[in-house]
C-alpha cells in the first residue's frame, strides 16, 4: 500500500541531502512523521498547506516501514499512518511536484486522490 507525505521543497531538499529526516516541524513537535492515505491526502493538503506552492508529494510503500508504522485515530476518528522513526530517503518510492492551481493542489493523476 502506498501512503503519502507532503513536504515543502526545502524539507524534501533536506531529506535528499541528509538521507533521512524527522519530518516537518509539526512531525518533530508530535514525535512522529505524519502520512495520509489516498482518501485523506487532499484534505490534508487543504487543511495544512492551503495556498502553499512549491510542495512535493512523496509516495511511500508501507511494507518498507515495518513496525515503526502505526495506524492511529486523528481527524474525525479516521486512522492515519504515523511513522515512529526517521523517514529515510530509501523509504520513498517516488516524489512528484504538488503544484497549486486555481487555489487547489493538483495531485498527479491515477493515484485515487480526490478533492475533499
What is this structure's pTM? 0.94
Nearest-angstrom CA–CA distance, 105 and 88: 25
Domains of the chain as residue ranges with CATH: 2-99 (3.20.170.20)
18 conformational bin, left if phi > 0, alpha if psi -120 to 50, beta if neither: alpha
CB atoms within 10 A of CB 109: 7
First to last CA, the chain: 21
Closest C-alpha to 6, from 84, 37, 31, 16 = 37
Q: Is 102 helix (H, G, I), strand (E, B) or coil?
A: coil
Tell me: pLDDT of 115 over 80: no
* Segment 68-85, tens digit of pLDDT: 999 999 888 899 999 999
pLDDT tens-digit map of 6-45: 999 999 999 999 999 999 999 999 999 999 999 999 999 9
pLDDT at res. 90: 97
Amino acid at each position: 500500500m502506498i501512503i503519502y507525505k507532503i513536504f515543502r521543497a526545502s524539507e524534501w531538499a533536506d531529506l535528499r541531502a541528509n538521507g533521512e529526516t524527522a519530518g516537518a516541524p509539526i512531525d518533530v513537535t508530535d514525535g512522529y512523521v505524519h502520512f495520509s492515505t489516498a482518501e485523506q491526502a487532499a484534505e490534508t493538503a487543504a487543511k495544512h498547506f492551503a495556498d502553499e506552492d512549491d510542495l512535493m508529494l512523496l509516495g511511500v510503500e508501507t511494507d518498507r516501514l515495518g513496525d515503526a508504522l502505526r495506524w492511529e485515530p486523528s481527524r474525525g476518528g479516521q486512522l492515519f499512518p504515523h511513522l515512529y522513526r526517521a523517514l529515510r530517503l530509501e523509504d520513498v518510492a517516488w516524489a512528484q511536484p504538488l503544484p497549486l492551481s486555481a487555489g487547489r493542489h493538483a495531485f498527479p493523476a491515477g493515484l485515487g486522490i480526490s478533492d475533499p
